Amino acid sequence: MVTKNGGKPRRQSLVVLLMLMTLTCIGSVGFSQSIDSPYEVATWQGFRSAAVSFTFDDGTPNQSTVAVPMFNEYGFKATFFTVINWGPNWTALQSAANSGHEIASHTMSHASLGSISTDQYAELRNSQDAINARIAGQKCLTIAYPNCVVGDKALCSQFYIAARICSGQIEPSTPADFMAISSFVCGTQGSIQRSEDFSNKVAAAVRTKGWVVFLIHAIDGESGYSPTSSTQLRGALDSLKSHIDTYWVSSFVNVARYVKERNNVSVKEIAASDSTLTMRVTDTLPDSIYNYPVTIRRPLPSNWSSVTLTQSGKNISGQVVVENGTKYLMFDVVPDNGDIALRKSTATAIGSSFNTVPSRTMLMPNYPNPFNPSTSLEFQVSSSAFVSLKVLDVLGREVATLVKEERQPGTYTVRWDGSGFPSGVYFCRLHTGSGTETKRLALVR
Ligand SMILES: [Zn+2]
């Protein structure tokens, strides 16, 4: 190294040393992700902007009679942390498990772990065994510490892939410590009481691409800690459902598994021709636990109009999404589950062979709104149509044309960047053969 300043090389080598140390640290928390260009692996399933988990502790009766049916209605999966010695309603828990909800450990006795008199091994191990013996169709893989008192993390990590505390923080997209995942206490004793309180935390998680975990005990008038209003909870679920392409709502264990797989996954394109791409998605994690699908996308090859997608010869589903004018193939795959083939198809429509065809053509509410400087506009098309998507100012003058072409059935997302436009109200207008829909946007600086 040639330099005029004797002090400089030393500083540079210090910088290099710091970089090496940083890389070593990242390696130690499990990053070995390796992804061939032009593939991308989503931070959150479906390339959504945040993960949201609802967790329920202590097994109060209204959790199975009110919460489970409500979550089923919305198609969301929740987590139920169960205290074995409190005589759980195993029939109700099995029924919840059958609907895809997670049944997990809240220890044997609900004693605070970490107190000297507690046999932590028995609390951790026996509760897991009891749930595995009683609940068919899933494994008990996560735990909530009783009274939010952190237990012996090293011991805990021998049995569980994630453990929950209640310190009221939003987790980053990769939590620093899976044995102490934070959550927000809901209900009368907590900070989350109204639908708006849920929504504000979820919006904050979007800003950091983070993971927000809610902790609910009693529901409505039943006895139990910190009751949460089912009306307010329903309002929160309504709001999440209306932005389903922004928020990934899933159980605690599914989000934990997703993060670990995403950070470990290897995506390789092993063969490519004009009409077929073959790829391999693997990880180095135990397949008996880490078998949750991760979302991958790549640009649609330019001369392809349609795709068939298979893994180990079986059809898997996917979508075409548009972002910043690029058409992507987006699909979910379980790592280590066989090679994936993307085949150019002669089918007339992407939707018929690849997409889930939407039931009707419509424009969704944009997100975020208000926004600064850009917002996502999503629309779905139920049958092939010439589509125009325009942004108008408050006087009805066109300020941007985002889409003006034939579109196949599918769901599309387009971003509008309002940089350079004045603050104020705008209108987004979707026009197809079947009609016109308009939504109001607010650009606020
Ligand atoms: Zn508890």
| Distance from residue 194's CA to the centre of ligand 1 (Å) | 22
Residue 28, domain member (yes or no): no
pLDDT of residue 18: 47
Distance CA 360, CA 421 (A): 32
| Distance from residue 163's CA to the centre of ligand 1 (Å) | 13
| Distance from residue 254's CA to the centre of ligand 1 (Å) | 21
Q: For residue 74, what is the enclosing H or E element?
A: helix 68-74
Q: 374 and 345, same structural domain? A: no
| Distance from residue 110's CA to the centre of ligand 1 (Å) | 6
Do 372 and 350 touch, CB atoms closer than 8 A? Answer: no
| Distance from residue 134's CA to the centre of ligand 1 (Å) | 20
Domain containing 328 — which CATH number?
Answer: 2.60.40
Q: How many Cα atoms sit within 13 Å of 433 on the Cβ side?
A: 10
Distance CA 228, CA 58 (A): 14
Residue 238, domain member (yes or no): yes
| Distance from residue 40's CA to the centre of ligand 1 (Å) | 39
**Range(s) of the domain holding residue 423:** 362-443
pLDDT of residue 347: 52
For residue 39, count CB atoms less than 10 angstroms from its CB and return exposed for 0-12, middle for 13-18, buried for 19 or more.
Answer: middle
Q: Which of 372, 332, 328, 323 is nearest to 350 (CA)?
A: 328
Q: 201 and 131, same structural domain? A: yes
User: From first to last of its 445 residues, what are the pLDDT tens digits of the chain?
Assistant: 333 333 344 444 544 444 444 443 333 344 578 999 999 999 999 999 999 999 999 999 999 999 999 999 888 999 999 999 999 999 999 999 999 999 999 999 999 998 878 899 999 999 999 999 999 999 999 999 999 999 999 999 999 999 999 999 999 999 999 999 999 999 999 999 999 999 999 999 999 999 999 999 999 999 999 999 999 999 999 999 888 889 999 999 999 999 999 999 999 999 999 999 999 999 999 999 999 999 999 998 888 877 888 888 887 878 877 777 788 889 999 999 999 999 987 554 443 334 445 657 788 888 888 899 989 888 888 777 889 999 999 888 999 999 988 877 677 788 899 999 999 999 999 998 777 888 899 999 8
| Distance from residue 150's CA to the centre of ligand 1 (Å) | 13
Residue 9, domain member (yes or no): no
Where does 316-384 show beta strands of DSSP type E? 318-323, 326-333, 340-344, 362-363, 374-381
Angle subtended at Cα 374 by Cα 368 and Cα 379, rounded to the nearest 5 degrees: 65
Residue 254, domain member (yes or no): no
Among 336, 353, 370, identify where a domain stops. 353
SS3 at position 16: helix
| Distance from residue 144's CA to the centre of ligand 1 (Å) | 8
Q: 298 and 181, same structural domain? A: no
| Distance from residue 183's CA to the centre of ligand 1 (Å) | 13
pLDDT of residue 268: 96
| Distance from residue 76's CA to the centre of ligand 1 (Å) | 22
- Tokens 């135990």 found at: 286
Residue 237, domain member (yes or no): yes
| Distance from residue 217's CA to the centre of ligand 1 (Å) | 8
pLDDT of residue 29: 43
| Distance from residue 224's CA to the centre of ligand 1 (Å) | 10
| Distance from residue 79's CA to the centre of ligand 1 (Å) | 13
Token reading at 131: 């749930």
DSSP code for 2 = -
Among 353, 387, 408, identify where a domain stops. 353
| Distance from residue 70's CA to the centre of ligand 1 (Å) | 22
Edge-to-edge strands, sheet with 34-35 = 34-35, 266-272, 276-282, 340-344, 307-311, 314-315
pLDDT of residue 242: 87
| Distance from residue 146's CA to the centre of ligand 1 (Å) | 5
| Distance from residue 218's CA to the centre of ligand 1 (Å) | 10
Q: 143 and 78, same structural domain? A: yes
Alpha helix locations (H) across 142-209? 153-159, 195-207
pLDDT of residue 1: 36
| Distance from residue 284's CA to the centre of ligand 1 (Å) | 34
| Distance from residue 182's CA to the centre of ligand 1 (Å) | 15
| Distance from residue 430's CA to the centre of ligand 1 (Å) | 49
| Distance from residue 298's CA to the centre of ligand 1 (Å) | 44
pLDDT of residue 160: 98
| Distance from residue 133's CA to the centre of ligand 1 (Å) | 21
Beta-strand pair 184-185/211-216: parallel
Q: 348 and 322, same structural domain? A: yes
Distance CA 95, CA 64 (A): 9
How many folded domains does the chain comprise? Answer: 3
Q: 188 and 70, same structural domain? A: yes
Q: 139 and 101, same structural domain? A: yes
Residue 111, domain member (yes or no): yes
Distance CA 114, CA 112 (A): 6
Residue 403, domain member (yes or no): yes
Q: 239 and 366, same structural domain? A: no
| Distance from residue 16's CA to the centre of ligand 1 (Å) | 47
| Distance from residue 168's CA to the centre of ligand 1 (Å) | 16
Q: 379 and 411, same structural domain? A: yes
Q: 225 and 86, same structural domain? A: yes
| Distance from residue 173's CA to the centre of ligand 1 (Å) | 26
Q: 373 and 275, same structural domain? A: no
Q: 309 and 284, same structural domain? A: yes
Residue 99, domain member (yes or no): yes
Domain containing 144 — which CATH number?
Answer: 3.20.20.370
